[in-house]
Structure 1
Amino acid sequence: MSASAARTFLEQDPILASLLEKYPLPETFKGSFDAFAGLCSIVIGQQVSVRSSVAVEKRVLNHLGSFTPEKMLETPEDVLGKLGMTRNKIRTLKGMAVRVKEGLDLDALQHEPDAKVSEILLGMWGIGQWSTDMFLMFGLGHEDVFPWGDVALRRGFFRVMGQDATPGIAERWRPFRSYASWLFWQESETDLSIQPLFWVHV
């Protein structure tokens, strides 16, 4: 599908139609990076502010040169720790790298249904629902993801839909919930000019 199809569909909702007048939609949510690099960026961003995650990500990338399984495995834990990584995140990233070296093709998951991707990712140590949703959306470019675990999305959602709104409302935006999520992020009062690697820039 495409952003054009998503726009035509979402414009049927009067509330989202008003947001579409203000914000352009990305043509795709999938960045130019490979899936492993995107997932590394997502893990670094777990449970910290965007500004903090970007700072750590830059330090790690400056040291490694790029996010690859080989570089993640060969870099000592104490070095990653000095770059700002927590022990749990280091364990998660190294565990991911091992899975990829053992044959898991993260990029190939793009062609799998969300349920299958979620099963694989949630089976990895340190990967929860937020990371899985972010990977589905930004790592694989899936268009029907509504990451309710994201604080900024919830803030934008309630600001637009009202404090009594429930996430079940998002069902009416299938199969383009990723685009609806994007619109709520724009309304979240988050500084979107500072973003990690995995984020899509319009």
Structure 2
Amino acid sequence: MVVTTRSRANGPITELLGVSRAGVTKRTKSSSAGGRKPVSTRKKSTQIPAPEVVKERPASPRGTNAPLIASQANSTAVLPVKSHAPATTNTILGQATAHLLSVDSSLKHLIESHSCGIFSVEGLAELIDPFQSLVSGIISQQVSGAAARTIKARFIALFTPTPTCPQPFFPMPEMVVACPNDKLRSAGLSGRKAEYVVSLAEHFIDGTLSPEVLSTAPDAEVIEKLTKVRGIGKWSAEMFLMFGLKRMDVFSTGDLGIQRGMAAHFGRDVAKLKSGGKGKWKYMSEEDMLRLSEGFRPYRSLFMWYMWRASDVSVDALTEDGGAGKGKGKAQAGPKAKKA
């Protein structure tokens, strides 16, 4: 049985797994009348205590599947994921791919050629700190992957490890808010990015964003809350839903890579569309994208992933930091696009 407790001392939510123990002893009151020695009724157990059994974490096609951790300087307390469906981490990807093929058998080549690790057993077991993931996404805006990693390392180094936690750690929201702006900028953040990071930290501090909220709120509500943070747009929020929270029914009409992939998959001449485009143009309209993707519910995230494959777009930049977004509200040219 899974029991959830909250520590009053430091506030993290932890998951404790019950252990079955054999050989429970019983002791009765003894009488010492007449100088007789008390007689013990404890029975010696001949059974071996049963090992701890870890139940499989349920995965849901309509909820958060990532095990979320709260930002703690010296803790990795896991927030249990609420069960929404009987599917398990061992079967959710198989169920999803089977559904996609039942809707469109022509996806078979893409599915057989590319293994989606995001929703695999290993992918779903990855611990995600939503604050760290979103900060990492802000840091990576408009810079190369190598530059983003360097800035992130410098950002972490701003917060001196404590005697009880000598190793480098990702700062908690309270620590970010307390850090002077010029010190944040010394790590390589622009003035605008420093403001974005502080804004995000404030939303975690006041409870607007939290592992609890992000694990249970509907997609639309999560997007609404995230887009109220400076520096995070709708596309960014959608990518975080998919790559960070591992939600399986996310679909972004504002991603140019998905537009291009869907156009190619459904038989449109992508090269002709691109060469003939003038001004503001699209490979496919949002209406057509929504109509064609509707049948793939509740696994549109996986369908979207394969449309990136059809478009030959890399998603490495998103999977590295759990999908924290790049960009504010406008259509993006696939996961590699960077816009402040």
State the TM-score bracket (shorter-chain normalisation): 0.7 to 0.9
Stretches (4+) displaced over 6 A: none
1:101 paired to 2:205: yes
Partners of 2:184 and 2:156 in 1: CA distance: 11
Distance 1:181 1:53, change over 3 A: farther
1:175 paired to 2:298: yes
Partners of 1:143 and 1:117 in 2: CA distance: 14
Partners of 1:159 and 1:59 in 2: CA distance: 42
Per-residue deviation at 1:158? 4.4
Per-residue deviation at 1:198? 1.4
Assess if the C-alpha contact under 8 Å between 2:260 and 2:284 holds in 1.
no
Per-residue deviation at 1:79? 2.9
Higher helix share: 1
Amino acid at match of 2:225: I
Q: Deviations over 1:143-175 (max 9, x none)?
A: 111234345444544454443544232223221
Distance 1:173 1:63, change over 3 A: farther
For residue 217 of structure 2, what is the aligned residue in structure 1? 112
Q: Which range moved further: 14-23 or 148-157?
A: 148-157
Q: Deviations over 1:45-78 (max 9, x none)?
A: 3455545444433443454431421332233322
1:142 paired to 2:266: no
The aligned length equals 199
Amino acid at match of 1:8: A
Partners of 2:260 and 2:150 in 1: CA distance: 23
Per-residue deviation at 1:43? 2.3
1:1-202 alignment, distance < 5 Å: 1=60, 2-12=92-102, 13-25=104-116, 26-27=119-120, 28=123, 31-64=126-159, 65-108=169-212, 109-161=214-266, 162=268, 163=270, 164-166=283-285, 167-168=289-290, 169-190=292-313, 196-199=320-323
Per-residue deviation at 1:139? 2.5
Distance 1:160 1:78, change over 3 A: farther
Partners of 1:126 and 1:48 in 2: CA distance: 15
Higher strand share: 2
Higher Rg of the two aligned structures: 2
Aligned to 1:171, the other structure's residue is in SS state: helix
Assess if the C-alpha contact under 8 Å between 2:259 and 2:284 holds in 1.
no
Per-residue deviation at 1:21? 0.6
Task: List gaps (5 residues or longer) in structure 2.
Answer: 1-59, 61-91, 160-168, 271-282, 324-340
Assess if the C-alpha contact under 8 Å between 1:144 and 1:176 holds in 2.
yes
Per-residue deviation at 1:5? 1.3
Per-residue deviation at 1:113? 0.9
Distance 1:81 1:29, change over 3 A: farther
Q: Deviations over 1:87-118 (max 9, x none)?
A: 22221210111121122342122211111112
Aligned to 1:11, the other structure's residue is in SS state: helix
TM-score between the two structures when normalised by the length of structure 2: 0.51
For residue 64 of structure 2, what is the aligned residue in structure 1? none
Percent identity, aligned pairs only? 30
C-alpha RMSD of the superposition: 2.8
Task: List gaps (5 residues or longer) in structure 1.
Answer: none
Q: Deviations over 1:114-144 (max 9, x none)?
A: 1111221222222210121122112322111
